[in-house]
Amino acid sequence: MFKAIVLAALFFITLLSYSQKYGHQWHFGNQAGIDFKGCEATAITTSAINGFEGCAAISDSAGDLLFYTNSDQVWNKQNIAMANGNLISSNGTISQVLIIPKPSSTTIYYIITSKIQASSSLTMQYHVVDMQLNSGLGEVVSKNNVITTWNITEQLAATWNSNGTDIWLMTHEYGTNNFLAFAVTSAGISTTPVISSVGPAHLGCTSNINSRGEIKFSPDGSKIAFNGNGVGTNNLSNILSLFDFDNVSGIVSNEIALPYSNGEFGLSFSPDNSKLYGSTWKAFAFGIGVYNYLYQFDLSSGNPATIINSKTIIDSVSSNSIYGSLKIGPDGRIYVAIANSGYLGVIYSPNLAGVGCGYVSNGFYLGGKTSTYGLNNYIEYQSYCSSTTGVSGLYNNDEIKFYPNPFSEQLIIYSENKFEGASLIVFDEIGKEVVKVDDLSSNEIVIKRGELSSGIYFVKIVENDRILMKRKIVIAD
């Protein structure tokens, strides 16, 4: 009985840690961002960030912005440079900046960065932000503190310890097969890593530029995906592997070597941990006629051979278009950075196998701002405010059915109760009305695509100026 109570308490603590809204504000690219507060993604157009790749933002437990960084500068919630917020770090890396809360504190946060040394090696540093200072705008009170002088790759990721309070900070040594896991507790960041020598060595063909790559934890912390990408044809610099992770001990084990492409870049697990997605970006280096890919592996079988053979190409683009980082949003979708684009790609149903995952290349409009290569780097989510495209209003998910969504030809909206006397309005992503049907009288509505282009739309059912239901729909080619 006592054991059951303890386990229940630990589970409850873990849920508290996972359910915090630290990642509800994203700032990335060229002054781009997303606000997920309220569980409906809205473009942020007031960000001061200008970042090539590495970027991170942190919110409080209510989802309100605290601060963000591109690894060189820290900005507060007013989009103004934070006091003492000029950092010394390594510019131009995929995920080399990361923000995590200090365990057992509600006001102290760590910014983790990698720094280029004179020898062209990378080391890991941390910077401390105290949000009690400057009337809640925060201040960097300590910076450029060395965690390790090991020659590391740019890969930085974090996940919760099994106790639900502490954190594991993960990186990889350059030139070896050593994973380095650093414990983060209420006492601070340990400088002595748990070392796991497993998988391929992270090698390169031209100096430390091939320390590029990404580490990504599954939302439940049980798996790690790891890639490395090179700038040449030397396959030693291209890596793609899947591992088990023990979030009690910090040990990485049981590699499954996955088939890779030239220029591996972004990684993300699905919210239910059953799929692994990846992207590539180096086709432009190999000339016209070469494609970049967005792909999926199905991990649900647990069998290495089956996983390896499950690779499915979700989307491909010509060499002049480049996929960047992938990140799960609080809404349960996976967002895909597309370099120099005014849109993010969106995987709307990432738990589903193959092309049924519902990828839309222009899935999220950035409000006139531009994506580069990176997206917000923070601990992956374990709980989400929504697992579908989101419903709000007086009806609930059980009362109204939308199918299929995404759709390519027509969408059926069905309710057990008639939409008597109500109006249906469809808006595009910039708020322009594109379809309107007045005086509804049945319990089934059919929306035909007609001349509508692929992308996101919003459906509202309105009665006497009262919104009965609002939902996002997606048209896919």
For the residues of 62-115, what is the DSSP string, one character each? TS-EEEEE-SSEEEETTSSEEEEEE-----S-SS-EEEEEPTT-SSEEEEEEEE
Domain coverage including residue 404: 391-475
317 and 439 part of one domain: no
Report if residue 161 sits inside a domain: yes
Report if residue 275 sits inside a domain: yes
Cα 19 to chain centroid distance, Å, stands at 16
pLDDT at 247 over 80: yes
How far is residue 472's CA from residue 475's CA, in Å, rounded to a whole number?
A: 10
More confident residue, 207 or 378: 378
pLDDT at 10 over 60: no
Among residues 353, 347, 373, which one has the least CA distance to residue 296?
353
pLDDT at 2 over 90: no
356 and 439 part of one domain: no
More confident residue, 3 or 309: 309
Beta-sheet pairing, 275-280 with 264-269:
antiparallel
What 3-state class would DSSP assign to 393? strand
Structure tokens at 69: 């960084």
In this prediction, residues 274-294 reach a mean pLDDT of 75
Which residue's entry shows tokens 């939302």?
219
Count the neighbouring beta carbons within 10 Å of the beta carbon of residue 335: 25
Report if residue 374 sits inside a domain: no
Which residue's entry shows tokens 């799929």?
275
| Whether the predicted model's global pTM rises above the 0.75 cut | yes
Report if residue 380 sits inside a domain: no
Confidence at 393, pLDDT banded by 50, 70, 90 = very low
343 and 398 part of one domain: no
353 and 406 part of one domain: no
SS3 content of the chain, % helix, strand, coil (to 5): 10, 45, 45
Give the pLDDT of residue 430. 67
Last residue of a domain, one of 324, 347, 365: 365
Report if residue 200 sits inside a domain: yes
Report if residue 119 sits inside a domain: yes
Give the pLDDT of residue 40. 79
More confident residue, 383 or 41: 41
Give the pLDDT of residue 213. 81
C-beta separation of 174 from 208 below 8 A:
yes
For residue 200, with 0-12 CB atoms within 10 Å meaning exposed, 13-18 middle and 19 or more buried, which class applies?
Answer: middle
Give the pLDDT of residue 15. 38
Confidence at 120, pLDDT banded by 50, 70, 90 = low
410 and 322 part of one domain: no
pLDDT at 348 over 70: yes
pLDDT at 175 over 60: yes
Give the pLDDT of residue 223. 97
In this prediction, residues 34-57 reach a mean pLDDT of 91
The enclosing domain of 81 has a CATH number of 2.130.10.10
Give the pLDDT of residue 380. 84
How far is residue 92's CA from residue 214's CA, in Å, rounded to a whole number?
A: 13
In one letter, which amino acid is 359?
Answer: Y
277 and 396 part of one domain: no
171 and 244 part of one domain: yes
The enclosing domain of 406 has a CATH number of 2.60.40.3080
Range scoring the smallest mean pLDDT among 105-114, 241-250, 354-363, 394-403: 394-403
339 and 440 part of one domain: no
More confident residue, 432 or 210: 432
Last residue of a domain, one of 319, 349, 365: 365
Structure tokens at 307: 């996983």
Structure tokens at 357: 């995952």
Give the pLDDT of residue 118. 44
Give the pLDDT of residue 394. 40
328 and 420 part of one domain: no
Give the pLDDT of residue 5. 33
pLDDT at 17 over 50: no
**Long-range contacts for 245-249 (Cβ within 8 Å, ≥24 apart)?**
245/159, 245/217, 245/221, 247/159, 247/160, 247/161, 247/162, 247/168, 247/221, 247/222, 248/161, 248/162, 249/194
Report if residue 386 sits inside a domain: no
124 and 211 part of one domain: yes
Query: How many domains in the chain?
Result: 2
C-beta separation of 323 from 279 below 8 A:
yes
Which residue's entry shows tokens 């569980």?
39
Sheet strands side by side (includes 239-245): 213-217, 223-228, 239-245, 252-257
pLDDT digits over 46-65, tens only? Answer: 999 998 888 999 999 889 99
Confidence at 18, pLDDT banded by 50, 70, 90 = very low
pLDDT at 219 over 90: yes
Which residue's entry shows tokens 């989009």?
79
Give the pLDDT of residue 277. 98
More confident residue, 219 or 15: 219
How far is residue 16's CA from residue 163's CA, in Å, rounded to a whole number?
A: 11
316 and 402 part of one domain: no
More confident residue, 381 or 98: 98
CA torsion, ordered 309, 310, 316, 322, to nearest 10 deg: -90
407 and 312 part of one domain: no
Give the pLDDT of residue 422. 86
In this prediction, residues 16-42 reach a mean pLDDT of 83
Report if residue 370 sits inside a domain: no
